[in-house]
Structure 1
Amino acid sequence: MTGFDADTVVRVLQLTALAVVVVLGATFAIAQRVGKQAVVDVAWGLGFVAIALTAFVATAGAGDGLRRWLALGLTATWGLRLAAHILTRSRGKGEEPRYAAMLERATGSRARYALLHIYVPQGLVMWFVSLPVQVAMVVQGGIGWVLWLGVAVWAVGFVFESVGDLQLARFRGEESNRGRVLDTGLWRYTRHPNYFGDAAVWTGLFLIAASAWPGVLTALSPAVMVWNLYSGTGKKLLEKDIGDRRPDYADYVRRTSGFFPWPPKARRR
Structure 2
Amino acid sequence: MNGFDWSHFGAVTAASVLVLAVLQAATFLVGRRIGRYNVVDVTWGLGFVLVALVAALVGDGDALRRWLMAVLVAVWGLRLTWHMYAKSAGKGEDPRYEEMLERAGGNSPGVVIRKIFLTQGFAQWFVSLPLQVSAVVGPASGLATGVAVLGVVLWVVGVVFEAVGDHQLKQFKADPANKGEIMDVGLWAWTRHPNYFGDSCVWWGLWLIAASVWPGPVTVLSPLVMTYFLVFATGARLLEKSMSQRPGYPDYQQRTSYFLPLPPKR
Superposition TM-score, scaled by structure 1 size: 0.95
Aligned residue in 1 for 2:72 = 74
Report the secondary structure of 1:94's partner residue: coil
**Is the CA contact (8 Å cut-off) linking 2:62 and 2:135 kept in structure 1?**
yes
Report deviation, 1:248.
0.8
Paired letter, 2:19: A
Aligned residue in 2 for 1:101 = 99
Paired letter, 1:26: A
**Is the CA contact (8 Å cut-off) linking 1:151 and 1:208 kept in structure 2?**
yes
What pairs with 1:44-123 in structure 2 (closer than 5 Å)? Answer: 44-59=44-59, 62-107=60-105, 109-123=107-121
Paired letter, 2:259: F
**Is the CA contact (8 Å cut-off) linking 1:2 and 1:142 kept in structure 2?**
no
Paired letter, 1:94: G
Report deviation, 1:167.
0.6
Measured on the aligned residues, the alpha-carbon RMSD in Å equals 1.2
Aligned residue in 2 for 1:169 = 170
Aligned residue in 1 for 2:42 = 42
Q: Which runs of 4+ in 1 moved over 4 A?
A: none
Q: Aligned partners of 1:49, 1:185: CA distance in 2, in Å?
A: 29
Aligned residue in 1 for 2:154 = 153
**Is the CA contact (8 Å cut-off) linking 1:164 and 1:193 kept in structure 2?**
yes
Q: Aligned partners of 1:107, 1:94: CA distance in 2, in Å?
A: 20
Q: Aligned partners of 2:118, 2:91: CA distance in 1, in Å?
A: 24
**Is the CA contact (8 Å cut-off) linking 2:42 and 2:85 kept in structure 1?**
yes
**Is the CA contact (8 Å cut-off) linking 1:2 and 1:213 kept in structure 2?**
no
Paired letter, 2:214: W
User: CA, structure 1 residues 191+109, in 2 after alignment: closer, same or farther (shift >3 Å)?
Assistant: closer
Is 1:13 paired with 2:24? no
Aligned residue in 1 for 2:191 = 190
Q: Aligned partners of 2:30, 2:121: CA distance in 1, in Å?
A: 16
Identify the range of structure 1 (174-183 vs 19-28) with the bigger mean alpha-carbon deviation. 174-183
Q: Aligned partners of 2:252, 2:109: CA distance in 1, in Å?
A: 39
Identify the range of structure 1 (104-113 vs 30-39) with the bigger mean alpha-carbon deviation. 104-113
Report deviation, 1:140.
1.3
Report the secondary structure of 1:250's partner residue: helix
**Is the CA contact (8 Å cut-off) linking 1:147 and 1:207 kept in structure 2?**
yes
Instruction: Number of aligned residue pairs: give it.
Output: 263
1:95-121 CA-to-partner distances (Å, cap 9, x unmatched) read 111112222235355222111101111
**Is the CA contact (8 Å cut-off) linking 1:2 and 1:212 kept in structure 2?**
no
Aligned residue in 2 for 1:201 = 202
Q: Aligned partners of 2:124, 2:118: CA distance in 1, in Å?
A: 10
Q: Aligned partners of 2:125, 2:63: CA distance in 1, in Å?
A: 23
Paired letter, 2:103: R
Report deviation, 1:218.
0.5
Calculate percent identity across the aligned residue pairs.
52
Q: Aligned partners of 2:133, 2:54: CA distance in 1, in Å?
A: 12
Aligned residue in 2 for 1:137 = 135
Q: Which runs of 5+ in 2 are unaligned?
A: none
